[in-house]
Amino acid sequence: MTMEMILALGILVLMIVLIMSDKMPFGAPPLLACLLLVVSGLSTVQQAFAGFVNPSVVMIAGFMVVMAALQKTRLISMTESARSSQR
């Protein structure tokens, strides 16, 4: 294994650990991993952030924002309680 491979695997493991530990918001570890790849010289800025402009990623991010707003307004829990009372 080359040093670049070891560094890339280390960044990947760090990202997975940060996501699983829930110490940071869900989107922060992937952004941190991209930043570390660029700073370490393993990737260019364009390569590191190319996946973030994928329409599917943007759509899922939009869904997450809408779901967070619905949870804050308690609309989801009101809908669930209304459905359970109908049964």
Convert the pLDDT of each residue in 45-72 to its tens digit: 999 888 777 888 889 888 988 988 888 8
21/76: higher pLDDT? 21
At residue 43, the pLDDT reads 93
Q: Is the same domain home to 38 and 74?
A: no
Q: Is the same domain home to 75 and 47?
A: no
Give CA–CA dist 50/40, Å, rounded.
17
Buried b (16+ CB within 10 A) or exposed e, 14-37: ebeebbeeeeeeeeebeeebbebb
At residue 87, the pLDDT reads 66
Q: Is the same domain home to 44 and 84?
A: no
77/12: higher pLDDT? 12
Q: Is the same domain home to 60 and 47?
A: no
Convert the pLDDT of each residue in 11-31 to its tens digit: 999 999 999 998 888 889 999
Q: How confident is the model at residue 1 (pLDDT cuts 50, 70, 90)?
A: confident
Q: Is the same domain home to 45 and 61?
A: no
Q: Is the same domain home to 66 and 28?
A: no
Residue 11 burial (CB count, 10 A): 19
